[in-house]
Chains A and B, each alone.
Chain A
Amino acid sequence: AQTVTQSQPEMSVQEAETVTLSCTYDTSENNYYLFWYKQPPSRQMILVIRQEAYKQQNATENRFSVNFQKAAKSFSLKISDSQLGDTAMYFCAFMKPPSGNTPLVFGKGTRLSVIA
């Protein structure tokens, strides 16, 4: 079974600075998908960024980028120019290729606080 580990329960960063959230996972699959979801105080789960394992290039979405290291099974999220609105819980998630049940397997989350 796949597992996802987020080793930082809480982090804080000054506004406008850069922060990196860590995520490691364990799988025997060669092809899969990785995601970062943001959960602000509103509770809504918002997709931040996704990465397909067969793609070498790291995904980027505006101020959000990932460092995907397939061999190391590592998938960290970098937030540049942090803003107060980035304060949220961040979940790393794994999904194997669609075949039967393809649940998103989540880490336990990292609570990020952006400080003015």
Chain B
Amino acid sequence: EAQVTQNPRYLITVTGKKLTVTCSQNMNHEYMSWYRQDPGLGLRQIYYSMNVEVTDKGDVPEGYKVSRKEKRNFPLILESPSPNQTSLYFCASSLWVGGDGYTFGSGTRLTVV
């Protein structure tokens, strides 16, 4: 089954404790992206990657890092999480040349206390 797999689904952590949210897709998509969803703000892009070793900032990149060492994986790293990063996070992927929209992971609900 074609899908984007995100883990974990829920995460509660403390301020300053480094964490990684994993994302993997099995569709051979070139393009991958991370979004955060906050009430009243919709979804906003954090980082994106157009291919292996090619990553760049989206609209709200502060406090986040990403890497793309393999085509299928695109982890989101929070080096020193803060409470304002409490949010719902989505990983998504797409064929770069298409207009089919994105395939989304099932989301990670992160709470930073």
Contacts and interface: CB of A to CB of B under 8 A. Distances in A.
A95 B99 contact: yes
A102 B106 CA distance: 21
Given A97-B99, A102-B31, A103-B33, A44 B106 contact: yes
B102 A52 contact: no
Interface of B: 31, 33, 40-45, 48, 50, 56, 58-59, 88, 90, 92, 96-102, 104, 106-107, 109
Chain A, interface residues (CB within 8 Å), range: 20 to 34
Contacts of B99: 33, 50, 52, 95, 97-98
A44 B107 contact: yes
B98 A45 contact: no
A100 B33 CA distance: 13
Interface of A: 4, 33, 35, 37, 42-45, 47, 50, 52, 91, 93, 95, 97-98, 100-104, 106-109
Contacts of B43: 91, 104, 106
Nearest to A91: B42
A108 B101 contact: no
The 3 closest A-B pairs by CB, nearest first: A45-B104, A33-B99, A106-B42
Contacts of A109: 42
B2 to A, nearest CB: 13
Nearest to B88: A43
Contact of A101 (B41, B48, B88, B109): B48
A81 to B, nearest CB: 25
Given A45-B90, A101-B50, A33 B42 contact: no
Contacts of A37: 101
Nearest to A53: B99
